[in-house]
């Protein structure tokens, strides 16, 4: 099973971003695939394929990471950027040092994820360039334009009070996208 640990913005933060993106989505070409707001999350660590028996150990370790965090985090969605000329993301503001520390602790569970979490950049993926589009999938200026337009975005503050361990079920979500099934919730 494919596993990852994440924080989920509250409903008000998600709805604020949905409302902000609504006119943009309506007026843009169809070569963008917008992610499902029901799947929006801030990844702390991606564990990849793990055996079923690993869930219990990962949950126990995430409990230790949550204790090290001591308190919930006050965060907000802000700004935007593009990864690899293909993925549009919205960034995170607020207690980002604590967010990076939590991601490092969550990533230290497995050796392969630790170095990835050291360079953690809190973000929420909102769109990807469609492979089915007419433009090359490796680059499209529309994403850069969107990132510049959303650079001034600041959403409402939310309190991240729990880590969620998700199972990622590829192709099982709406429109053939992924379905993220929560397996465990760990309070901060």
Question: Which residues form the catalytic set?
Answer: 41, 123
Query: CB of 4 within 8 A of CB of 47?
Result: yes
Max distance between CA atoms of the chain, in angstroms, equals: 49
Burial 74-83 (b: 16+ CB within 10 A, else e): ebbbbbbbbe
At 180, list the tokens. 């993220």
Q: What is the dihedral of CA 144, 103, 21, 138, to 10 degrees?
A: 30
User: What is the distance between the alpha carbons of residues 20 and 7, in angstroms, rounded to a whole number?
Assistant: 21
């Amino acid at each position: 099973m494919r596993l990852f640990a994440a924080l989920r913005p509250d409903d008000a933060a998600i709805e604020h971003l949905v409302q902000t993106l609504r006119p943009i989505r309506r007026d843009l070409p169809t070569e963008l695939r917008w992610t499902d707001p029901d799947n929006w999350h801030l990844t702390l660590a991606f564990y990849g394929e793990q055996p079923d028996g690993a869930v219990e150990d990962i949950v126990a370790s995430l409990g230790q990471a949550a204790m090290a965090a001591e308190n919930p985090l006050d965060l907000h969605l802000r700004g935007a950027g593009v990864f690899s000329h293909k993925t549009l993301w919205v960034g995170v503001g607020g207690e980002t040092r604590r967010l990076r520390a939590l991601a490092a602790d969550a990533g230290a569970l497995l050796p392969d994820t630790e170095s990835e979490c050291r360079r953690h950049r809190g973000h929420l993926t909102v769109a990807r360039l469609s492979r089915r589009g007419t433009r090359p999938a490796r680059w499209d200026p529309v994403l850069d334009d969107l990132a510049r337009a959303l650079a001034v975005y600041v959403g409402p503050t939310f309190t991240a009070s729990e880590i969620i361990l998700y199972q990622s079920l590829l192709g099982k979500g709406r429109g053939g996208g992924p379905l993220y099934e929560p397996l465990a919730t760990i309070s901060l």
